[in-house]
Amino acid sequence: RVRWFQVPPQGKGALYLRPLLIGSGAILGLAPAPEYTFMIYAAPVGTYFKEGMAAINLLVEEEIHRAMPGGTGGVKTISNYAPVLKAQMDARSKGFADVLYLDSVHKRYVEEASSCNLFVVKGGAVATPATAGTILPGVTRRSIIELARDSGYQVEERLVSIDDLISADEVFCTGTAVGVTPVSTITYQGTRYEFRTGEDTLSKKLYTTLTSIQMGLAEDKKGWTVAVD
């Protein structure tokens, strides 16, 4: 008799699937690998930030950049993470959950955090930085843009300046690991800016809509879910 286990148990986190592609051929020189190994590892996970689903505090980083025009910022590659570990560790030691990066040319436009995309809400309008090679075009970002538009919001993919950010009503982050995480404060040049969080926010509404589709609690009209049997 077969006993089936659900990993993790229903309602206790998720099974995170991470595809990995590494060069594994016999080569020492600087050149594309002659052979690659593709793996997928599966691990049960809880929430990504230690804050859980609670709102997070972010620090705007002005000196260190995670990506630059012509670089690899738009691809999920290890080369985008090593350069930001120091900024991230410094921010964490000061109590921030993560760092928010600015564009490396003007240091004026917001890009994203170390592992998630960013949205700002002002009035009935939603904006997220346009992806043009320096921002990871996340699938959660894409899904949230669609769900927000479906529920009547105007969503713009455009340049989001630091002024747009600090004057926003609401700010939130998106990613497979972080889900939809509300941002309660952003610190920029020593000043802390506060944003709306809690039940009556767009991020909460979109979080509920997305996770209900993911967990099969709401009808999936978009064909985003796949049954595994």
Ligand X SMILES: *Cc1c(COP(=O)(O)O)cnc(C)c1O
Catalytic residue numbers?
76
- Per-residue contact track with ligand X, 26 to 65, x per CB under 6 A? ----------------------------------------
**Cα–Cα distance for residue pair 190/172, rounded to 1 Å:** 21
Q: Does 179 bind ligand X (CB under 6 A)?
A: no
| Residue closer to ligand X (CB basis): 36 or 81 | 81
Structure tokens that stand for 191 in this block = 């000043």
φ, ψ dihedrals at 140, nearest 5°: -70, -40
Among 61, 98, 112, 170, binds ligand X (CB under 6 A): 112
Q: Does 175 bind ligand X (CB under 6 A)?
A: yes
Smallest separation, CB 34 to ligand X (Å): 27
Look up residue 112 and give its amino acid. Answer: E
Cα-to-chain-centroid distance, residue 103: 17
Question: Under the phi-then-psi rule, with left for phi > 0, alpha for psi from -120 to 50, and beta for the rest, what region is 98?
Answer: beta
Radius of gyration of the chain (CA): 19
Smallest separation, CB 198 to ligand X (Å): 23
Look up residue 109 and give its amino acid. Answer: Y
Residue whose Cβ sits closest to ligand X? 138
Binding residues for ligand X, per CB under 6 A?
76, 112, 115-117, 136, 138-141, 174-176
